[in-house]
Amino acid sequence: MISEAWDGLAASVATTDDPFPGGGAMAQAIRAVDWGQTSLGPVASWPLSLKAVLRMMLASRQPMCLFWGPELRMLYNDAYGPMLGQREGAALGQPFHIAWADVWHDVLPITRSALSGVSQRLEEMPLVMTRNGFAEQTYWTFSYTPLRDDEGRVAGLINMTKDVTAQVRDRQALVEAAETAARMLEEQRQNNRQRMILQRELSHRMKNTLSIVQAIVSQSMRHSPDMATASDRISGRLSALSSAQDILTESSWVAAEVSHVIARGLAPYRDGAERIRCRPRRQDIGRPSAGPFAGDPRTGDERAEIRRALDGRGPDLDSLARLRRTALQLRLAGERWPDGDAGRPQGLRLTADRAHRPRLFPRQGGAGLRAVGRELPAGRRARHG
């Protein structure tokens, strides 16, 4: 039974012995070649199997080329021509290794496989070609299929191919764009996180500064005989406070000496030579340790970001944690503990424990001490000495 697909067509399909049917450019180019001067020999001597596959290839709009004979001479159709670039005119009839010299060693293994009778198909194979006079990265999806002669021996191969360079590059561009967008989003998240950490740190420091200013004004007013004296004391103490804050922008705390740091920090609260006495051994603050000390509630990244945001010049708890055999006694002369612990002068003692970690031993404290308590790990917070 004849398929209905043939209805009305059988009589109109002309028969021909021409191995190069049609009026395509490659059919005409193949006719013009003197094949008797090549290893393929005259067209009349070509095997029927070669002529059959050649007719099929020339009639197809799928880019195809075939390689036949001991030298694997090249034939191709019109659709394949643009893929040759500047080689299009000279490639016809050339041996495979000459026509595609720049990729010959890349495709040799799969060529040998096809010539052994095993078909091969590759997806998006990268090949660096110089078909247009310069090296370019290209990508190809193609198949190599064995071709047999009239005796059934493998005599060549046919290549059905597609240049997918544009598709691969478009996909790579999309991947790169997605990666760039992801990096930008991550940078934005990190920037937002750093900004929030900085805002919290600045808010904390502002509250502490306001508490200190309030205490200075309150104490100065309480212990001054008149407004003029109070004004002078407030002005002097605020100036001393400003001077104490300058230590945050001095060269580096790596070279700072402990007694100097403490003296500068306590300057706003002195109203007499004997009211506050500082008797530390000389001890330089060492270089900050690389990692956080045990129990630090903040992560290393948070502390590092705070130091960077504030120009990295302030003292940190890591530096103090490196003190060795240092005893600092700060006593407020002539005053008692608020709870009436008679005979015990109020004071603050800073010592180093066996692990060389500083401890604070105040009885109780206000906003400043609570701020220190938040910075120190729970195991080091203030307790009665």
pLDDT tens digit string along 138-185?
999 999 999 999 999 999 999 999 999 999 999 999 999 999 999 999
3-state DSSP: the chain helix, strand, coil percent, rounded to 5?
45, 20, 35
Grouping H, G, I as helix, E, B as strand and the rest as coil, residue 245 is: helix
Amino acid present at 44: A
The gap from C-alpha 70 to its chain's centroid, in whole angstroms, comes to 53
259-262: which pairs have CB atoms within 8 A and are 24 or more residues apart?
261/285, 261/315, 262/328, 262/330
Query: Which H or E element spans position 136?
Result: strand 136-148
Q: What is the DSSP letter of 215?
A: H
Q: Are 332 and 347 in contact (CB under 8 A)?
A: yes
214-222: which pairs have CB atoms within 8 A and are 24 or more residues apart?
215/366, 216/241, 216/268, 216/269, 219/269, 219/271
Domains, the chain, with CATH or none: 19-161 (3.30.450.20), 172-380 (no CATH)
Number of Cβ within 10 Å of residue 156's Cβ equals 24
pTM: 0.52
Instruction: Determine the average pLDDT of the residues in 68-78.
Output: 95
Question: pLDDT tens digits for 19-44?
Answer: 777 668 999 999 899 999 999 999 99
- What is the C-alpha separation between 332 and 335, in angstroms, rounded? 6
- What is the C-alpha separation between 331 and 275, in angstroms, rounded? 8
State both tokens at 274.
């004997």
- What is the C-alpha separation between 296 and 375, in angstroms, rounded? 8
For residue 286, name the pLDDT band (cuts at 50, 70, 90). Answer: very low
Lowest mean pLDDT among 67-71, 304-308, 354-358: 354-358
Least Cα distance to 318 among 366, 380, 245 occurs for 380
Look-up of token digits 């906003």: 367
φ, ψ for residue 360 (rounded to 5)?
-110, 135
Q: Are 258 and 328 in contact (CB under 8 A)?
A: yes
Grouping H, G, I as helix, E, B as strand and the rest as coil, residue 311 is: coil
For residue 283, name the pLDDT band (cuts at 50, 70, 90). Answer: low
Query: Which H or E element spans position 262?
Result: helix 258-266
Amino acid present at 208: N
pLDDT at 360: 42
For residue 109, name the pLDDT band (cuts at 50, 70, 90). Answer: very high
Q: Are 58 and 151 in contact (CB under 8 A)?
A: no
- What is the C-alpha separation between 334 and 343, in angstroms, rounded? 10
- For the CA atoms of 83, 87, 89, 93, the dihedral, rounded to the nearest 10 degrees, stands at -90
Strands 120-129 and 136-148: antiparallel
339-347: which pairs have CB atoms within 8 A and are 24 or more residues apart?
339/363
Q: What is the DSSP letter of 284?
A: B
For residue 234, name the pLDDT band (cuts at 50, 70, 90). Answer: confident
φ, ψ for residue 289 (rounded to 5)?
-70, 155
Judge whether residue 374 has pLDDT over 50.
no
- What is the C-alpha separation between 4 and 7, in angstroms, rounded? 5
Strand partners, 159: 65, 144
